Amino acid sequence: GAVVSQHPSWVICKSGTSVKIECRSLDFQATTMFWYRQFPKQSLMLMATSNEGSKATYEQGVEKDKFLINHASLTLSTLTVTSAHPEDSSFYICSVKSSGTGIGQPQHFGDGTRLSIL
Amino acid sequence: KNQVEQSPQSLIILEGKNCTLQCNYTVSPFSNLRWYKQDTGRGPVSLTIMTFSENTKSNGRYTATLDADTKQSSLHITASQLSDSASYICVVSRGDYKLSFGAGTTVTVRA
């Protein structure tokens, strides 16, 4: 079954709206979650690393005031796209670092949220 | 620069046929290499993970190879099925959970 649940799966909204995306770890407690963005025909790009109980770490070029991340519990991280504009339209995917140790542990990805800003 | 290059960008094969996807990387240091399958509109699902010391790993009809010396990997799909139609992504980990993603190879299997 699914290890990571992402909600909603698809959002269409007007320009200027703020949109919240939830990422839940279903099988284990996750101190670290990752948020990615994927444009059509392109690879996933890491936006930020979400750390439970502390501030998220953003990748270079990602506006932290634009993409608000909250990781308030060990099973939930949220990404809020504030004042979204058409150029923010993309496929947003979260992933959870496996609870196991060792270098061969996979990341488990959610099914993504397709965000369309009109 | 940590890069992952995949080829071909896309391919079309007939059901039942085999195909091989390629991945070249320049990521350093190297921790492990993963192949993911991503169906349209879904998140990636892990197929295989290989560490430095592993040079082949299978998952059903999927077989991945790794040559850490030449920094090349391949994913071989045997006896393709319609459900194999997806994007296959090569991902290299530097060991700090920073992943470098390839752009993927889109495979279309036709009846």
Across the interface, whether the CB atoms of B43 and A95 are under 8 A apart is answered yes
Q: What pLDDT, on a 0 to 100 scale, did the predictor assign at position B96?
A: 66
Q: Per CB distance under 8 Å, which residues of B are interface residues toward A?
A: 4, 31-32, 34, 36, 41-46, 49, 51, 89, 93, 95, 97-99, 101-104
pLDDT exceeds 90 at position A88: yes
Q: Is the pLDDT of residue B52 over 90?
A: no
SS3 of residue A88 by DSSP: helix
Please tell me if residue A46 touches chain B, with a CB cutoff of 8 Å. Answer: yes
CA A49 to chain centre: 9
Cβ-Cβ contacts under 8 Å for B2 (sequence gap 6 or more): B25, B26, B27, B28, B92, B94, B100
> Which of B89, B95, B103 faces A103 most closely, judged by CB atoms?
B95
Number of residues that this document lists for chain A: 118
Contact status, residue A91 vs residue A37, Cβ threshold 8 Å: yes
The per-residue pLDDT for range B54-107, each reduced to its tens digit, is 999 999 999 999 999 999 999 999 999 999 999 999 999 887 667 889 999 999
What confidence tens digit (pLDDT) does each residue in A5-55 have?
A: 999 999 999 999 999 999 999 887 888 899 999 998 888 999 999 888 888
The alpha carbon torsion through A73, A74, A76, A78 (nearest 10 deg) reads 70
Beta-bridge partner residues of B50: B33
